[in-house]
């Protein structure tokens, strides 16, 4: 199981957020997939939190009824909220299942080249779904996946990347491609743009902006990038909160309030940057041969070329033996830069993997280092330790001992695992225990990921960050502990509260040897904000990420690990956010229905169309004939558990019943974009569906 973990870090790294088309796999070995006919992407962004509804239509051209496995490439930061499909003209909604997803591919022997192609397309964090229904020959099937993600941010620019190149799977054009992008921001939007295109429609009203694109008979052979820039004069500390008093979403005792607090330093030249003492540790063992060692050399060269004047640095390379650029950290200048670049080009692969030896060399060099400088190690490896200390706990204890014995205070270790052979538990805990982050990447991603990441930590501005609330009523805040603050990056802290009131936030740290304090009034709202309905899920995701770290720290199979896994599963199921321990499950039992048949058992008694919708939608339901004359109640709930609308109607037994909803709440105002539950109550029976408001 591969899990991406952010360990006390900047919340928005400038890595691509990849939003893509799904794949209907018949047989991965002989390269058999259903052709994609049409694709539609609807994106709603509230303060960089994106809710994406991606809809794809596929055609069964095999000539026979067939089974498929649906796969969708998600990013490491995305959280899937809902999966629906339409087969034979009927919509079905997948259930959340408390079991990990099945990651095997149909027909997979693992030896065919096409298998590596689809694995490369799907990436490291795909969503898999086994469809139990046959798709009729000559028929169409539609998949609709809804998920949320925090869009990557750097130096006022936010990016949405849609991996739209589908040429690996087909050469035929799509009937249509539609993109609708809606943006709502507390900070002024300077501009919004779809790169490399001139036929999109863009409207920018300052705090609201809209972009749309529609292409017909379109060859999906290029990726799409949407970027927008936020005004740099509106930086600083700001917050938002929502209170869910009347809720059906009661998952814990942490309070009905959800808050987020954003901290961002001025990215201009006015902000003075703290110097770094920096070490790059490079694995050059035999398994790093080929493109990996070349990417390692290129990434190291990029970092050396982007150090700051005033920084001190060194390079440690290891296989079974350890070698260094210099015996100690040296000041960065033109001479040491040229020498380092020459040293990097001489790095060749070979030997075993002595991780403990690399840290035995690197950490003592931080002894007696300047306390006013940021101390950073970037470490990457593609394998488990095979020389020196080889056990995970042994290496962790060794690193802790080195840090303590050399009195190295406030060291940050950022770890990167390359490919399937990296020891995820070791790298995760090394980062967790040393104020860093761990990242796991494919063999061909090393150069891009390392260089992009370095830019986020290039310019530290505040060290040893802490946050306190007065009065102390905000609980369950994440990330915990807080990371250092870097120029051009944001820190987003989420938390919970029980009693709405105004509190004071004290955000503090050290810069250039001096203590720095910021006080900020934080009003904890007593009202429900439909625009902030993403907050509970954002908090749940951060909570689960924190529990992942504890899960990795626990002994595998121990009662502690089992309890942590159960906690993650419970949060996932209650808040409706997929985790590594949960999955989507087909609840149809392989049922086959006719195109014009509307009645489906259980929750499929009710469905909503159009879905998603903008102006209005119709709630359809059909119940058994013996309920004729009974009164039915239809309720609309936000995902936060807020009742926003209610309807009553007398049932027409044996026929289709329709209730129209114009997207308004009880008080006549339009509800915010997002996902809503539709609940049908007939006597003692309750049926549910979901609808997405655009």
Q: Kindly state the average pLDDT of the residues 222-230.
A: 87
Query: Residue 516 falls within a domain, yes or no?
Result: no
pLDDT score at 580 = 83
Examine the domain organization and report whether 321 and 441 are in the same domain: yes
Confidence of residue 362 (pLDDT cuts 50, 70, 90): very high
How buried is residue 539: exposed, middle or buried, by Cβ count under 10 Å (0-12/13-18/19+)?
A: buried
pLDDT score at 235 = 66
For 130, residues 6+ apart whose C-beta sits below 8 A from its C-beta are: 69, 102, 586
Angle at which helices 424-432 and 535-553 cross, to 10° = 110
Identify which of 235, 238, 239 has the alpha carbon closest to the alpha carbon of residue 268: 235
Q: What angle do CA 286, 361, 450 make, to 5 degrees?
A: 55
More confident residue, 20 or 376: 376
Token pair belonging to 561:
């690990």
Examine the domain organization and report whether 227 and 281 are in the same domain: no
Answer whether residue 363 shows pLDDT above 60: yes
Token pair belonging to 43:
């994106």
Q: Please give the torsion angle defined by the CA atoms of residues 7, 8, 11 and 14, in that order, rounded to the nearest 10 degrees.
A: -60
pLDDT score at 595 = 30
Confidence of residue 626 (pLDDT cuts 50, 70, 90): low
Examine the domain organization and report whether 346 and 433 are in the same domain: yes
Among 202, 232, 262, residue at a domain's last position = 232
Confidence of residue 2 (pLDDT cuts 50, 70, 90): very low
Examine the domain organization and report whether 209 and 281 are in the same domain: no
Q: Is omega for the bond preceding 21 within 30 degrees of 0, making it cis?
A: no
For 549, residues 6+ apart whose C-beta sits below 8 A from its C-beta are: 5, 7, 428, 429, 432
Task: Please give the backbone phi and psi of residue 36, each rounded to the nearest 5 degrees, phi first.
Answer: -85, 130
Which stretches does DSSP call E strand in 294-398? 312-318, 322-324, 330-331, 374-381
Q: Are 259 and 239 spatial neighbours (Cβ–Cβ below 8 Å)?
A: yes
Among 394, 427, 458, residue at a domain's last position = 458
Which stretches does DSSP call E strand in 569-684? 583-585, 606-609, 617-621, 631-638, 643-650, 657-661, 674-682
Query: Residue 197 falls within a domain, yes or no?
Result: yes
Answer whether residue 368 shows pLDDT above 80: yes
Range of the domain at 284: 277-458
Examine the domain organization and report whether 76 and 197 are in the same domain: yes
CATH assignment of the domain containing 48: 2.60.40.3680
Greatest Cα-to-Cα distance within the chain, rounded to the nearest angstrom: 88
Distance of alpha carbon 512 from the chain centroid: 34
CATH assignment of the domain containing 437: 3.40.50.410
- Tell me, what DSSP letter sits at residue 627? G
Mean pLDDT estimate for the chain: 83
For 487, residues 6+ apart whose C-beta sits below 8 A from its C-beta are: 265, 266, 267, 271, 273, 458, 459, 460, 461
Range ranked top by mean pLDDT from 45-59, 120-134, 317-331, 470-484? 317-331
Examine the domain organization and report whether 210 and 72 are in the same domain: yes
Among 458, 490, 511, residue at a domain's last position = 458
Examine the domain organization and report whether 304 and 393 are in the same domain: yes
CA–CA distance, 419 with 430 (Å, rounded to integer): 18
Q: Are 63 and 566 spatial neighbours (Cβ–Cβ below 8 Å)?
A: no
Examine the domain organization and report whether 209 and 301 are in the same domain: no
Confidence of residue 641 (pLDDT cuts 50, 70, 90): low
CA–CA distance, 338 with 294 (Å, rounded to integer): 18
Query: Residue 184 falls within a domain, yes or no?
Result: yes
Tally of domains in the chain: 3
Q: Which of 94-98, 209-213, 622-626, 646-650 has the lowest mean pLDDT?
A: 622-626
Confidence of residue 273 (pLDDT cuts 50, 70, 90): confident
Tell me the per-residue pLDDT of 453-489, one tens digit each, with 9 for 90 and over: 887 777 777 888 888 999 999 999 998 888 888 877 7
CA–CA distance, 356 with 88 (Å, rounded to integer): 59
Examine the domain organization and report whether 225 and 322 are in the same domain: no
Query: Residue 7 falls within a domain, yes or no?
Result: no
Answer whether residue 16 shows pLDDT above 90: no
Examine the domain organization and report whether 195 and 287 are in the same domain: no
How many CB atoms neighbour CB 425 within 10 A? 17
Classify the C-alpha dihedral 13-16-21-24 as positive or negative.
negative
Query: Residue 397 falls within a domain, yes or no?
Result: yes
Identify which of 319, 328, 326, 377 has the alpha carbon closest to the alpha carbon of residue 348: 319
Distance of alpha carbon 102 from the chain centroid: 20
Q: Are 34 and 59 spatial neighbours (Cβ–Cβ below 8 Å)?
A: yes
Query: Residue 24 falls within a domain, yes or no?
Result: yes
Q: Are 479 and 8 spatial neighbours (Cβ–Cβ below 8 Å)?
A: yes
Integer distance in angstroms from the first to the last C-alpha of the chain? 34
Instruction: Residue count of the chain, please give it.
Output: 694
Q: Kindly state the average pLDDT of the residues 569-588.
A: 85
Examine the domain organization and report whether 207 and 298 are in the same domain: no
Query: Residue 552 falls within a domain, yes or no?
Result: no
More confident residue, 432 or 596: 432
Share of the chain above pLDDT 70, in %: 89
Tell me the per-residue pLDDT of 246-264, one tens digit each, with 9 for 90 and over: 555 578 888 889 998 888 7
Examine the domain organization and report whether 174 and 290 are in the same domain: no
pTM of the model: 0.69
Confidence of residue 24 (pLDDT cuts 50, 70, 90): very high
Query: Residue 67 falls within a domain, yes or no?
Result: yes
- In which element (H, E) is residue 225 found? strand 224-230
Identify which of 53, 21, 20 has the alpha carbon closest to the alpha carbon of residue 37: 21
Confidence of residue 563 (pLDDT cuts 50, 70, 90): very high
Q: Kindly state the average pLDDT of the residues 173-177.
A: 90
């Amino acid at each position: 199981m591969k899990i991406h973990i952010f360990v006390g870090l900047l919340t928005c790294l400038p890595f691509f957020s990849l939003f893509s088309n799904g794949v209907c796999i018949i047989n991965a070995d002989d390269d058999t997939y259903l052709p994609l006919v049409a694709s539609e992407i609807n994106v709603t962004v509230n303060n960089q939190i994106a809710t994406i509804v991606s809809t794809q239509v596929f055609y069964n051209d095999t000539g026979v009824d067939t089974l498929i496995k649906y796969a969708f490439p998600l990013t490491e930061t995305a959280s899937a909220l809902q999966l629906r499909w339409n087969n034979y003209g009927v919509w079905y909604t997948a259930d959340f299942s408390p079991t990990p997803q099945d990651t095997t591919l149909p027909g997979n022997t693992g030896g065919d080249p096409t298998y590596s192609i689809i694995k490369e397309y799907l990436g490291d964090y795909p969503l898999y779904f086994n469809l139990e229904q046959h798709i009729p020959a000559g028929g169409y099937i539609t998949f609709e996946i809804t998920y949320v993600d925090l869009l990557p941010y750097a130096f006022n620019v936010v990016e949405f990347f849609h991996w739209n190149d589908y040429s690996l799977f087909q050469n035929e054009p799509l009937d249509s491609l539609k993109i609708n992008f809606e943006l709502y921001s507390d900070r002024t939007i300077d501009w919004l743009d779809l790169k490399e295109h001139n036929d999109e429609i863009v409207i920018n009203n300052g705090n609201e902006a809209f972009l749309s694109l529609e292409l017909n008979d379109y060859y999906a052979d290029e990726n799409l990038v949407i970027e927008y820039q936020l005004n740099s004069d509106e930086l600083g500390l700001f917050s938002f909160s929502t209170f869910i008093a009347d809720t059906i979403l009661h998952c814990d005792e942490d309070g009905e309030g959800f808050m987020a607090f954003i901290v961002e330093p001025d990215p201009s030249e006015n902000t003075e940057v703290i110097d770094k003492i920096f070490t790059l540790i490079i694995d050059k063992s035999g398994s790093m041969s080929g493109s990996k060692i070349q990417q390692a050399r290129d990434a190291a060269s990029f970092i050396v070329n982007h150090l700051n004047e005033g920084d001190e640095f060194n390079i440690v390379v290891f296989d079974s033996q350890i070698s260094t650029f210099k015996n100690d950290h040296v000041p960065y200048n033109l001479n040491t830069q040229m020498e380092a670049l020459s040293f990097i080009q001489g790095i060749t692969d070979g030997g075993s993997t002595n991780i403990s030896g690399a840290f035995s060399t690197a950490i003592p060099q931080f002894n007696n280092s300047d306390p006013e400088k940021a101390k950073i190690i970037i470490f990457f490896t593609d394998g488990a330790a095979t020389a020196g200390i080889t056990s995970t706990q042994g290496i962790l204890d060794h690193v802790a001992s080195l840090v303590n014995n050399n009195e190295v205070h406030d060291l940050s270790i950022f770890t990167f695992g390359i490919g399937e052979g990296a020891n995820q538990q070791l790298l995760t805990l090394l980062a967790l225990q040393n104020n860093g982050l761990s990242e796991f990447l494919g063999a061909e991603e090393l150069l891009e990921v390392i260089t992009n990441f370095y830019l986020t930590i290039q310019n530290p501005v505040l060290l040893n960050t802490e946050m306190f609330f007065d009065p102390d009523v905000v609980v369950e805040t994440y990330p915990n502990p807080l990371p250092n603050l870097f120029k051009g990056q944001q820190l987003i802290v989420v938390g919970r509260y029980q009693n709405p009131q105004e509190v004071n936030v004290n955000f503090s740290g050290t810069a250039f040897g001096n203590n720095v304090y910021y006080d900020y009034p934080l009003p904890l709202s007593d009202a429900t904000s439909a625009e902030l309905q993403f907050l509970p899920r954002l908090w749940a995701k951060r909570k689960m990420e924190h529990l992942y770290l504890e899960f990795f720290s626990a002994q595998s199979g121990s009662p502690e690990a089992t309890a942590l896994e159960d906690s993650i599963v419970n949060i996932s199921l209650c808040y409706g956010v997929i985790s590594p321990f949960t999955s989507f499950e087909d609840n149809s039992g392989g049922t086959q229905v006719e195109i014009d048949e509307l009645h489906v058992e259980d929750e499929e008694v009710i469905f909503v169309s159009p879905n998603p919708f903008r102006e209005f939608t119709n709630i359809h339901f059909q119940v058994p004939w013996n309920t004729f004359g009974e009164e039915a109640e239809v309720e609309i709930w936000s995902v936060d558990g807020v009742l926003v609308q209610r309807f009553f109607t007398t049932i027409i037994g044996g026929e289709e019943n329709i209730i129209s909803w114009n997207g308004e709440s009880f008080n006549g105002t339009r509800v915010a974009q997002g996902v809503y539950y539709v609940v049908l109550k007939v006597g003692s029976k309750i049926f549910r569906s979901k609808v997405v408001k655009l």
